Structure 1
Amino acid sequence: MSRVAVHVEINSDIERQIAAMAQNAFKRFEDDLNRRRSRLQGRPVAEVRRAVDSALRKYGLDLPDAMVAGLAQDLAEGRQIQISTR
């Protein structure tokens, strides 16, 4: 198998636009789950985890497993979530 190295430069304006799009997607994800928090509170963590996974797919986002587990735990306990995208 041969490998080819490719160098890609991204225009800084495009980079900012991509970052803004990702930030907006995370904000919508966060708002969506916080609106559903009262319905998720007290539910089994596994059930809440499925809701979090579903919302991630809905917004085309990917988070590490540990972070998803933490979000599910917080929502199951009725805590509001906040995601920093810095």
Structure 2
Amino acid sequence: MTMTYKTIVVAIDGSKEAEWAFKKAIQIAKRNNAKLILSHVIDLRSFAAPFELYDSTAVKRSEEYAKELLNGYQQQALD
């Protein structure tokens, strides 16, 4: 019995390991005609100061980086 996948989720962070996982996920998704979901998580706790204040500029930069990263991977997946 061959297992088929309907949905594949891959986490991306710009690392070489994530790039490898992404390329492998594309191969598996194409082979199974599956949906590919890209995920990138921003841990806002890393921006927190002692009293739960955070640097909104750093958060915005992280969000922009994540959007660029996701858009780049999305374009690769569609090619």
Q: Same fold (TM over 0.5)?
A: no
Could you say which structure has the greater relative contact order, defined with CA pairs below 8 angstroms and 6 or more residues apart? 1
Higher helix share: 1
TM-score between the two structures when normalised by the length of structure 2: 0.35
